[in-house]
Structure 1
Amino acid sequence: MNLEELYEQNPEVKDLVNQQIQDQATTLAEKTSQGLMNKNNELMDELKPLKQKMKLLDGIDPEKYREMQQSIKDKETQGFVDKGQIDKIIEAHNTEKLSWGQQYEQTTTELNGTISTLKSSLEKEVIDNQLLAALSPIAVDEPSLEYLMMKTRGQVEMVDIEGRMVARVKNGINGDGSYKMIPDLVQEIAGNELYARFVKGTQGTGSGANGSDVPAGGNGAAPKTWAECKTVQEKQAFLKAQKKTQ
Structure 2
Amino acid sequence: MNTSTRYQVHISRSGQLRIDGEPQAVPDGVDPSQVVIKVLHIEAAGSGLPVLVQVQDDRTNSRFDMQVMPDGTTQAPVTPAVAAGPQPVAAEQQQPSSLFDRLAAAQAAGRAHDFDTAIPAADAILQQLTAEQGDTAAATLEAAQFRADLAYLSGEYAFATASWTWLALAWFDRLGPGKRRTQVAAQNAAQAWMQLPLHEAGPLASDLVNMLLEVAAPERTATMRAQIAERLRQPSN
**Is TM-score (shorter-chain normalized) higher than 0.5?**
no
Larger Rg: 1
By relative contact order (CA 8 Å, sep 6+), the higher-ranking structure is 2
TM range (shorter): under 0.3
TM-score by length of 2: 0.21
The TM-score normalised by the length of structure 1 is: 0.20
Tell me which protein shows more helix as a share of its residues. Answer: 1
